[in-house]
Amino acid sequence: MFTRLKKNRRLLILVALGAILLLCMLIAVSIGAVPISPLTIIEMTLNKMGISHFSPTWPPSAETILFQIRLPRVIASALVGAALASAGVLFQGMLRNPMADPYIIGTSAGAAFGATIAMMLPISIVFLSFGLVPIAAFLGALGAVLLVYNLARVGGKTPIVSMLLAGFAISAMLTAILFFMVTLSGRPELLQNIYSFLMGSISVSGWNQIIIIAPLIIGGIVAARFLASRLNALSLGEEGAAYLGINVEREKLLVLGLGSLLTAAAVSMSGLVGFVGLVVPHAVRLVLGADHRLLLPASALTGAAFIVLADLLARTLLAPREIPLGVITAIIGAPFFIYLLRRHRREYAF
């Protein structure tokens, strides 16, 4: 009886969060230079899916705006948010460190580094470079996180301060090398691209990129959910987890690999968007508890809604000018990070 109640509770929470996410997305697609009413959006979408046949009360341009510009962008935002929040949960669980975040521990910078290198390679075949960027981003993310992890480890533990310092140092180094290489390349026009990449903003044109990245992110989150009960066991530390039958080395690689994959997938659509992986899992943990089996999917949905709204702010606040998305998340996230660091100073010393 109790199990069913618990299971139903979990499902209910996720359904509710899913509904909130859909609502946020609906609001986000309806707002812009040309407002489209939510009702019209629903009718257009149902028509497009072939479910219904409402006679169009909207101009054809509205359809183009919705399906070619806004919807891809909003879906990309949701995917980026879900991926970064899930990666945050994975890294925090594995490092047993509630301050870990793909941006803070250098994974995002690694992904950006890999992606930019791939973009600069003189490969003109479109489909090749298209596949190369995400792969390079993944390798960059994995390389950076392994480096930070090994640098930050002190006697089998990953203390918060050494993790933050290692993450900062690696991020700074990778960014510096990046700018150096761009300067070397003698293509100053790249600087502007890289600059906006580092500031973070959702950049997708049409559906092509989403069709490739979405399965990666959704698959990654589903796979991460299967790791959830082992992440719970890893909360006891490597030794404690081993006593519970966990193959610690294998799990760590799986978690780092998945976290890097999710980060790289997000970075390839948005550049560096910080603090999502920190703020979202923290807030969710506070409300719903620490059990990763609920924390992970709930954080993914909340993260998605968070970035959908943040991106809405980014493109409407100073319209027609656009604020980089990374600026919005940092303005919200950085003070929160500092607050956590101060408040939990004692708790986080282990």
Partner 1 sequence: MINIKQVDFSYGKTPVLHHIDLLVQEGEMVALLGPNGSGKTTLIKLLSGVLRPTAGDIHLNGSILGRMKRKQIAQCVAVVPQQFSMPFAFNLREVVLLGRTPFLSLFSDEGEQDRRVVEQAIELIGLAPLKDRFFNELSGGERQKAILAMALAQEPKVLLLDEPTAHLDINHQVEILDLVKRLNREQGVTVIAAIHDLNLAAIYFDRLILLKEGRIFTDGNPETLLTAETIEEVFATSVHVSQHPITRSPHVAIIPRL
Give the footprint of partner 1 on this chain (CB under 8 A): 2-3, 7, 96-98, 226, 229-230, 232-233, 235-237, 239-240, 242-247, 285, 289-291, 293, 347-348, 350
Residues 146, 166: contact at Cβ < 8 Å? Answer: no
- Give residues with Cβ within 8 angstroms of 282, minimum separation 6: 98, 336, 340
CB of 341 vs partner 1, minimal distance in Å:
15
User: Which is nearer to partner 1, 165 or 290 (by Cβ)?
Assistant: 290
Type of residue found at 44 = M
**Is the distance from CB of 213 to CB of 79 less than 8 angstroms?**
yes
Cβ 305 to partner 1 shortest distance, Å: 23
Least distance CB 317 / partner 1 (angstroms): 35
DSSP assignment of 76-96 equals HHHHHHHHHHHHHHHHHHHHT
CB of 291 to partner 1, least distance (A): 6
Q: What is the rounded distance in angstroms from the CA atom of residue 230 to the CA atom of residue 318?
A: 45
Closer CB to partner 1, 51 or 349, in the complex = 349
Least separation in angstroms between CB 298 and partner 1 = 14
Cβ closest to partner 1, residue 11 vs residue 33: 11
Task: Count how many Cα atoms sit within 13 Å of the Cα of residue 153 in the half-sphere of its side chain.
Answer: 12
CB of 9 to partner 1, least distance (A): 13
Q: In this structure, what are the phi and psi dihedrals at residue 20, rounded to the nearest 5 degrees?
A: -60, -40
Hey, what amino acid is at 36?
A: I
Q: Where are the alpha helices (DSSP H) in 121-207?
A: 126-152, 160-185, 189-199
Quickly tell me which residue has 């962008």 as its tokens.
Answer: 73
Whether omega before 320 lies within 30 degrees of 0, making that bond cis, reads: yes
Within a 13 Å sphere around the CA of 320, how many CA atoms are in the beta-carbon half? 2
- CA atoms of 69 and 206, how far apart (whole Å): 7
CB of 346 to partner 1, least distance (A): 11
Please report how close the Cβ of residue 219 comes to partner 1 at its closest, in angstroms.
15
The beta strands (E) that lie in 180-242 are given as none
CA distance 145 to 107: 5
- Minimum CB distance to partner 1 smaller for 143 or for 297: 297
At 289, list the tokens: 């508890």
Cα–Cα distance for residue pair 230/228, rounded to 1 Å: 5
